[in-house]
Amino acid sequence: MRKRVGTGVLLALLVTVAAGCAKIPDVTETNPQHQSGTGLNETPVTLHVYNTLGETVSMERAEEYIRRTMPNVTIESTYEIAPKMENAQLAAVRGGGGPEILYTQDYYTYVQNGYLKDLTSEPFLKNYMISALSDAEVGGKVYALPVGNGYISGLMVNQRLLTELGYELPQTQDEFVELCGRLQESREETGVRAYAFGMLYDERAALGAMPFFLDAYTDSAYVQWLSQYRRDPSSVSFQDPAFVRVLQELEELKALGLCQSSDFLTSDSQNLQEVIRGDALMCSVSYVDFAVRFEDKLTEVNGVPSFRVAKDGRQIYVPAEDFVFIPYMGKTRGESWLATNGDWYLGINANVADEATLQASRLYLEYVASTEFAPEYYSASVPAGATTYYRRDDTLEYSFFQERHPEVYQCLTENSIIKNPYQFYGSSLFTFSLRHYLCDQKYYAGLSGGSAYKDIGTAEDILAVLEDYRITGQNPYEVPDRVVGYTEKEYGYVRIYSRSNESALGNLLADAMREYTGAELAVVNAGALTAGLEAGEITESDLATAMLYGLSNHVVTVRCKGANLISILSTNNLVSTVRV
């Protein structure tokens, strides 16, 4: 079996959610070097871009911005399914050509072979979040913008069980495969499986296996077969070579205990419990689900954080220290051997030498840097009548809080992993280091049961601080007066997941408003299956479709009933800005 890292087709679609709903900013007002009329801008330029199917909307917005800013630039986009697009692009670049704008999941291959321009000194990087750029840093340099970061995902491993079985945590993929094989061989004796499954599996469209080992995710022919099957099951043949090839690979995975036939969907919660009980050594899980379904459920037993689980007909408490979360999405560094290279990266082809083409390429990336969302989490459930704010301000000026509201600044910095804070996500700072808390609380953005700002005042106090920040103009953007938008789409009770577009300012405001309204909150994983949604619930795509954006992409969304919104905002002098 090829031990090639799989890419996960669904991740490609997430870029559409991120970039496709963004309002185009007028960066020409603050970036005079890109204003039309200069000598370089008068030179006709054609930029070629390869994109995955489903990216049409987001790329069209980029093209619209380029046309408006540099009328001399033409963009020619070629759309193809992700694996086929990647193969064609890489072959062209290796031959000394290829599109000027490179869009890839195989970032480190491009960097190691010198296929990407060094972007480290580009001014537009200041618009991009540090937490996102750190994912693209190689040897202290940045060669591309991480875009479409789906979610932080990885393996939850029962370390105590691993030790009891006489094994050590694998350090390479080969060691991992060897471990799985040994576990499978001794399964009847130990009763322990290598892997628990929370999978989409259909006996007709076999898609169940440990994701980064299943080559089906990067098999162009199979992806086409599956797309056709989903559109019209009667139109495909199960003797198709692409499908047969995947079935054969699944058999190989079954031999390792990494695939299991089933005709039902199992949940992340069930999988975690399997690992906690010791019935399976590990499972794949997103970090948000790991946090929500495991860490957030911990109870101290004799001073030891523990998880309660049913085993052999009784409730037991298992120490949390027995388990570890190993991320396998994001970075393909030597120490991150489980990485799927699941993110998408956007950079400039190193073969580009013409200055006018380089300028146009930089402008294209500047657009992305000004609008693309960073790979962070924020989720919430909103009952009808409750309010949720969304707002972008990725480069919050912390000096403002330090000088005018030191108590807020202390909260921002107290438990940050770095001395100079770069992002405050409501009540949690999410980074690829995964777990560092602000305000010394185990409280995740979007979860009920805690207040991230209890030490620095009430919800009204926070709102006053934020309003002070907004009206003083201390932030790097000229935030418009009309700071509130709303969605016209009505839901009785919804669970929403909006990935990555919540900002420092926006999440503070969102948390404050939720405490103000008493809204019940929950989290949906970015990879949540539609089949798992309850009646009246929506996915992140539904939410993105419903969102309205305002001036310069800084007004984002409020979702609520008008009367309730007016009542909530009346104490903050924002009523005049509300469109109801």
Reduce the secondary structure of 250-290 to three states and give it as a string. Answer: HHHHHHCCCCCCCCCCCCHHHHHHHHHHCCEEEEEEEHHHH
Q: Enter the tokens of residue 401.
A: 């809080």
Start-to-end Cα distance in the chain: 58
* Whether residues 83 and 169 fall in one domain: no
Are 154 and 287 spatial neighbours (Cβ–Cβ below 8 Å)?
Answer: yes
Would the pTM of this model clear 0.85, i.e. be above it? no
Task: Please indicate, yes or no, whether residues 216 and 142 belong to a single structural domain of this protein.
Answer: no
- 285-291-296-298 Cα dihedral, nearest 10 degrees: 60
| The domain boundary residue, chosen from 318, 351, 371 | 371
Contact 229, 203 (CB under 8 A): no
Domain co-membership, 347 together with 314: no
| Shared-domain flag, residues 302 and 367 | no
258 falls within a domain? yes
Q: What is the radius of gyration, based on Cα positions, of the chain?
A: 24
Q: Mark whether 496 and 537 lie in a shared domain.
A: yes
Q: Within this chain, do residues 420 and 538 fall inside the same structural domain, yes or no?
A: yes
Strand partners, 300: 305
**Residues 241-270: what's their mean pLDDT?**
66
Closest CA to 151 of 442, 504, 523: 523
Is 525 a domain residue?
A: yes
Helix and strand element counts for the chain (H, E) = 19, 20
114 pLDDT tier (thresholds 50, 70, 90): very high
Tell me which range, 253-257, 493-497, 563-567, is most confidently predicted by mean pLDDT. Answer: 253-257
pLDDT class of 459 with cuts at 50, 70, 90 = very low
Q: Which residues partner with 137 through β-bridges?
A: 142
DSSP state of 524: -
**Domain extent for 386:** 379-577
- DSSP result, 449-494: S--TTGGG--HHHHHHHHHHHHHHT-SSS---S----------SEE
Does residue 546 sit within a domain? yes
What are the tens digits of pLDDT across the range 192-208? Answer: 888 776 443 333 333 34
Q: Domain boundary residue among 371, 390, 425?
A: 371
- Give the 3-state secondary structure of residue 558: strand
Q: Which of 74-83, 332-341, 361-370 has the lowest mean pLDDT?
A: 332-341
pLDDT tens, residue by residue, 9-27: 222 222 222 223 222 233 3
Residue 575 has pLDDT above 60, yes or no: no
How many domains does the chain divide into?
3
- Provide the pLDDT confidence category of residue 364 given band limits of 50, 70 and 90: confident
- Does position 116 have pLDDT exceeding 80, yes or no? yes
- β-strand partners of 319: 306
Tokens of 325: 């979360």
Do 138 and 171 belong to one domain? no
CATH number, domain containing residue 127: 3.40.190.10
Name the burial class of residue 449, with classes exposed (0-12), middle (13-18) and buried (19+) by CB atoms within 10 angstroms of its CB: exposed
How would you classify the pairing of strands 436-437 and 344-348? unpaired
Is residue 236 a contact partner of residue 229, using CB atoms and an 8 Å limit? yes
Domain check: are 161 and 259 in the same one? Answer: yes
What pLDDT does residue 503 have?
Answer: 32
The torsion of the CA quartet 411, 415, 416, 421, rounded to 10 degrees, works out to 30
Q: Does residue 427 sit in helix, strand or coil? A: coil
Mean of pLDDT over the chain:
57
Higher pLDDT, 8 or 244: 244
Specify if 538 maps to a domain: yes
Under 8 Å between Cβ of 348 and 362: yes
d(CA 75, CA 55): 15
Which amino acid, 292? V
Both 442 and 551 in one domain: the answer is yes
pLDDT per residue as tens digits for the range 408-443: 666 555 433 223 322 332 222 222 111 222 222 222
Strand partners, 344: 147
CATH code, domain with 247: 3.40.190
Which two tokens mark 21?
Answer: 């709903």
Highest mean pLDDT among 58-72, 217-231, 421-435, 484-498: 58-72
Decide if 389 is inside a domain.
yes
Confidence of residue 528 (pLDDT cuts 50, 70, 90): very low
In angstroms, what CA-CA distances link 171 with 139, 160, 167?
A: 22, 17, 12
What pLDDT band is residue 297 in, cutting at 50, 70 and 90? Answer: confident
Domain co-membership, 62 together with 179: no
- Determine, yes or no, domain membership for 333: no
Verify that 495 and 564 share a domain, yes or no. Answer: yes
My answer on whether 573 and 430 are in the same domain is yes
**Residue 181 confidence (pLDDT) above 60:** yes
pLDDT exceeds cutoff 90 at 119: yes
**pLDDT above 70 (res 164):** yes
- 1 part of a folded domain: no
Q: What percentage of the chain carries pLDDT values higher than 90?
A: 7
Most confident of 218-222, 293-297, 339-343: 293-297
Structure tokens at 462: 């926070």
The pLDDT of residue 291 is: 62
Q: Using CA atoms of 422, 425, 431, 435 in order, give the dihedral in degrees to the nearest 10.
A: 120
Residue 326 makes CB contacts below 8 A (sequence gap 6+) with 154, 155, 157, 338
Is the pLDDT reported for residue 42 higher than 80? no
Binning pLDDT at 50, 70 and 90, where does residue 347 land?
very high
Contacts of 336 (CB under 8 A, 6+ apart): 327, 328, 330
* 477-509 core/surface letters (b: 16 or more CB in 10 A; e: else): bebeeebbbbbeeebeebbbbbbbbbbbbbbbb
Q: Does 334 fall in a domain? A: no
Do residues 566 and 575 touch, judged by C-beta distance below 8 A?
A: yes
How would you classify residue 148: left for phi > 0, otherwise alpha for psi between -120 and 50, otherwise beta? left
Per-residue three-class SS string for 309-334: EEECCEEEEEEHHHEEEEECCCCCCC
Closest of 291, 548, 299, 555 to residue 445, by C-alpha: 291
